Structures are given as structure tokens and as C-alpha cells.
Amino acid sequence: MNDRHHLFRFLIGLILVACAFLTGSPSLQAAETATIRLVSYNIRHGRGMDSKVDLKRIATVLRRLKPDLVALQEIDHTCTRSGKVNQAAALGTLLGMHHRFGKFMDFQGGQYGLAILSRFPVQKSVRHQLAPGAEPRCALEVTVRPTASGPLLSFVSIHNDWTREPFRIAQVNDLLMGLAERRHPIILAGDFNAEPEAESLARLKASGFAILAKKNGTRTFPSRSPTIEIDYFMTRGISFKTAPLTQVHDERLASDHRPIVMELPLSR
């Protein structure tokens, strides 16, 4: 009877682990894989092009993209305009992912900033204060280990100033100082508010970051009929046999930006 009892408990344990993984439980390490899926999305606090704030609609867009890591910009934390919702936590719950929030500033009784969602347990989270622009700015970094035997990875959500390139250059310089001691791979993801030839992006390239090219049109804003390219993935410390391509996802309603998505190959 004792052996049967132990066998029964073992089988139940396997079933519970399988169920938790299938439902996206953030308490489990994501399955080891040769690739991870990355998404970056400026969600304009969930306000779509129909002027409706609909966070469940944002979650539906993200769920279809099946991400492992998500960089989010324009996130509200209990602000009046978006219904006093902790948006990072709500999206984490809806998608079964860990969440981290980085505050730009106090706003409408809450806070306004950016966030990261992760399928992987977050080893460390760092808020990098950046030079101010038209508004206060920060970048949010999380450190994860996507594969059990692979290196650590820093994933950084970016939302630089939208008004003037000198502000963006100062913000990039501050971020580079904040990341100076990182010896593991880094991915920057987000709304850089700079087109490809901008000096702020050139500073990042000079420090070793590479912009990952897009494969199906480059423009990301405004979402209904994009005219400019300002959302990117950039990597440092990752070598590729063939560099992965970023895809601009054709989502025109949920926000004023289109999300970008990429599959990143990693060593096991």
C-alpha cells in the first residue's frame, strides 16, 4: 500500500504541474526552448482608436501573439482616466505572467509609466531614472533566465521623449550608464520616439546595440495607417547565425501604436 500511495502522489503531482503550465501559471519556469517570443507594445493606457479604454482587448491582442516577454509603454497604475486599475497587474493576471511596473510620475490619483510582463520568473528588476523631457522618464529592466542552462538576459522596456531629440539623447546616455556593468545579453524593446537615422539611436549603436530589422513594413505609428517607424527591438551581447526579423503586427484598433513581435533564438 505504501508504494501505491507514493505512486499515486507522484502521478497527481505530474498532473498538477502540467495543468499549471498549460494555464500559464507564473510560478513555473517556462519550458526550455531554443527560441523565445518577444513583444513590445505602446498601449496608450488601453485607450483604442475608438476612444474606449479596454484592457481586455489589449490582453486579447497579446494572447494571440503568445509572448514570453512583453515590453509595455504608457501604462497606468490606478489612474482615474483608466478606471483606477493597476494595469500591469491586471494584464499579468489575464495572461498568467509575472509583471513589473516602472513609474514615470504621479498622475490622476495614481501613477503613469511603463511595464514588463514575463513568462519566466524575474530574478531582478531595476528602474533606471533617465533625464527628463516633456515628462519625467525612466526605463525598466528585468533580468530573467529563459533556459535552465543558458545565460541571464536583461529585457528593458523603453519609452523615450516624444518632443525633442536632445532629450532622447540625454535619456539614452543615462540608460547606457545604468547598463554599463552588464556582462550578459541585453534586449531593449519599446517606443524610442526616434526614426532609424536619429542620433539617439546612433548612440546606442555605437555602444554595441544593433537594431533588428523588420520584415513586413517598418512603420508602427499611428496604428490605422502608420507613417513613421519608432518602435524597435535592439540587442547587445547576442550573436546570430542569421539575425531574426521583427514583425509589425497588423492591429489597428486597440491602441495608437501597432505592436511588434520577434522570435529570438537562444542557446539551450
69 and 1 inside one domain? no
SS3 assignment, position 25:
coil
In this predicted structure, the answer to whether residue 28 has a pLDDT above a threshold of 70 is no
Global pTM? 0.87
Do 161 and 194 fall within a single domain? yes
- Per DSSP, what are the bridge partners of residue 102? 114
Give the domain extent around 18.
Answer: 1-30
Is there a single domain that holds both residue 16 and residue 76?
A: no
Q: Where residue 6 falls among pLDDT bands split at 50, 70, 90?
A: very low
How does pLDDT run across 69-92, given as a tens digit for each residue? 999 999 999 999 999 999 999 999
What pLDDT, in 10s, does the model give residues 32-56? 446 899 999 999 999 999 999 999 9
Clarify whether residues 137 and 182 are in a common domain.
yes
CA pseudo-torsion sign 190, 193, 196, 198:
negative
Locate the DSSP E strands across the chain.
35-42, 69-77, 98-107, 110-118, 124-130, 137-144, 153-159, 186-191, 210-211, 231-236, 247-248, 260-265
Pair 60, 253: CB distance under 8 Å: no
**Phi, psi (deg, nearest 5) at residue 261:** -140, 150
Task: Count Cα neighbours of 239 within 13 Å in the Cβ-side half-sphere.
Answer: 1
Mark whether 137 and 5 lie in a shared domain: no
Q: Are residues 71 and 38 in the same domain?
A: yes
Whether residue 153 sits in one domain with residue 203: yes
User: Strand pairing of 137-144 and 231-236?
Assistant: unpaired
* Confidence band, pLDDT 50/70/90 cuts, at residue 147: confident
Rounded mean pLDDT, 239-262: 93
Question: Domain holding 257: CATH number?
Answer: 3.60.10.10
pLDDT, tens only, 97-111: 999 999 999 999 999
Q: Which residue has the higher pLDDT, 159 or 1?
A: 159
Q: Is residue 25 domain-shared with residue 64, that is, in the same domain? A: no
Question: Which amino acid makes up residue 203?
Answer: R
- The domain total for the chain is 2
